[in-house]
Amino acid sequence: MNKIWLLARRELRERIGSGGFLFLSISGPILILLFGYLLFTYGGEGKQHWNVLIADPTGIMENKILAKEDVRISYSFADGYIEMEEFRDAKQFQNFDALVEINEKVLSNKTAFVFFRTKPSVRMQTTLQFQVERRIEEVMIKRFTKLSVREFRKIKQPLNVAFRDVNDPFDEASDMRAWAGFFFGLVIFIFILLFGMTILRSISSEKSNRIVEVLLSTVNPRELLAAKLIGIGLSAFIQFAIWVCVTVLGLYFMRAYMFPDMFDPSNSLLLRDSGSLVEYNEYLDLVFNRLQLSVILPFFLLFFVGGYLFYGALFAAVGASTGSENDGQQFVIPIILFLSSSVFAAYFCLSNPESQLSAWAHYLPFTSPASAMVKLFQGYAPGEGYKIWISLLILYISAVLALLLAARIYKNGILQFGHRLKLSHILKWFSRS
């Protein structure tokens, strides 16, 4: 064990000491944070500016809505009735993105309809709703109370009423969460690909510079393979830990200094004294409120380790079989294709969570590291939580089998030099005891 650790430590030092490691450690989380920032800032937006026509035949709104103009919405007023079909088809209305219908019953039934051409973003919806609602509120204050608008708003207190599904209290089945699962699956894919290729390169490099024979006179091939996988795996783990730490710190910074309003409970009714609007951003809510990282991270790590061992063993087997450093590319391609299929399968699970193929992808070791993450985020039906454990069990059994296969090929192929790798070589070395 001591020898394995000595070799693993050497491998770890070499990886950590390389410029690429530092670059990836910094650039990875920065890219994630940048992506997150863009989502938080613009994620909820579709079209940036809307022209809205308000049909107010009874003149309730008195052709005004805001004290000052909003940069995102321009309002126009029509004093007659406009049918939905007319708004949709008539030439003169084509410049408008939405029609707000304020009929004479609005003060009693508190309902206004908005007809749109393309679905507005959540942000746009809340803005529009907020502005129309405030104008109607002003009208109602004027008509039904003796209070000034200011006095009314002073006594009006916000109350946040949160709705929860009894079967899915954390809204686990939402698409947004599944996308987060896909993101985690993608991270597993990226790490396995990067560090799997590192295993391959490292082994074929040790072969080509012949150091491997000196090492094999002190440790057996299985120990050498184990040290390689542990050393590179640890470097992957450290890299991932750096990513997590930097990303969490960055998110904390964003929450505290860039989006503080989003987490102020008094903003829950989207109202403040100043009259400005605090918009809801579902990505922000997802990342900061709805992801249960304490549950997700352990499973993520289990699938990450399992996937790394499974694919790492295959990369190692090819690396040990190569005749030179540049040999074996044709055998790497199938592994990369299988690995890439895990991402496609995960995407398929995202779109078709209940399909038979998704179920297979969730269990097959080639695809489960990414697909199971999507499924985990989508949520299992009550009583079906055991499925993720079955998926893990299959992955780890497959990883052990792949390691045994790799160890055999590694043992027999590691001292073969100068040949051009063929499938027959791999089969021969596998069949040899």
CB 21 to other proteins: min, Å: 13
Nearest CB to other proteins, comparing residues 18 and 276: 18
Q: In the complex, what is the shortest distance from the CB of residue 399 to other proteins, in angstroms, rounded to a whole number?
A: 26
Distances (CA, A) of 7 to 169, 195, 239: 49, 17, 19
Give, for 227, the enclosing helix (H) or strand (E).
Answer: helix 221-253
Nearest CB to other proteins, comparing residues 19 and 80? 19
CB 11 → other proteins: shortest distance, Å?
Answer: 10
* Residues of span 178-237 touching other proteins by CB under 8 A: 206, 209-220
Q: How near is the Cβ of 256 to other proteins at its closest, in Å?
A: 42
> If 0-12 CB within 10 Å is exposed, 13-18 middle and 19+ buried, where does residue 251 land?
buried
Candidates 5-13, 150-158, 339-347, 351-359; binding stretch for other proteins (CB under 8 A): 5-13
Contact window for other proteins (CB under 8 A) among 6-14, 52-60, 126-134, 392-400:
6-14
Torsion (CA) 179, 184, 185, 189 in degrees, nearest 10: 130
- Is the Cβ of residue 10 or residue 422 nearer to other proteins in the bound state? 10
Q: Which is nearer to other proteins, 109 or 209 (CB)?
A: 209
Which lies closer to other proteins via its Cβ, residue 216 or residue 332?
A: 216
The one among 66, 393, 401, 415 contacting other proteins by CB under 8 A: 415
User: CB of 218: closest distance to other proteins in angstroms?
Assistant: 4
Single out the residue of 199, 208, 209 nearest to residue 230, CA to CA: 199
Residues 6+ apart with CB under 8 A from 327: 204, 419, 420, 421
Q: What is the footprint of other proteins within residues 265-284 (CB under 8 A)?
A: none
For other proteins, the closer of residues 26 and 415 by Cβ is 415
- Cβ 201 to other proteins, closest distance in Å? 13
Q: Which residues 12-51 are close enough to bind other proteins by CB under 8 A?
A: 14, 17
Output the CA torsion 281→287→291→297 (10° steps). Answer: 170
Q: Considering the complex, what minimum distance in angstroms separates the CB of residue 10 from other proteins?
A: 6
Q: What angle do CA 91, 97, 103 make, to 5 degrees?
A: 90
Residues 6+ apart with CB under 8 A from 181: 346, 350, 373, 374, 375, 376, 377, 378
DSSP assignment of 7-30: HHHHHHHHHHHSHHHHHHHHHHHH
Does 419 bind other proteins (CB under 8 A)? Our answer is: no
What is the three-class DSSP state of 117?
A: coil
CB of 234 to other proteins, least distance (A): 17
Which residues lie closer than 8 Å to 368 by C-beta, 6 or more apart? 303, 306, 307, 342, 361, 362, 391, 394, 395
Binding site for other proteins (CB under 8 A): 3, 6-7, 10, 14, 17, 206, 209-220, 415, 417, 428
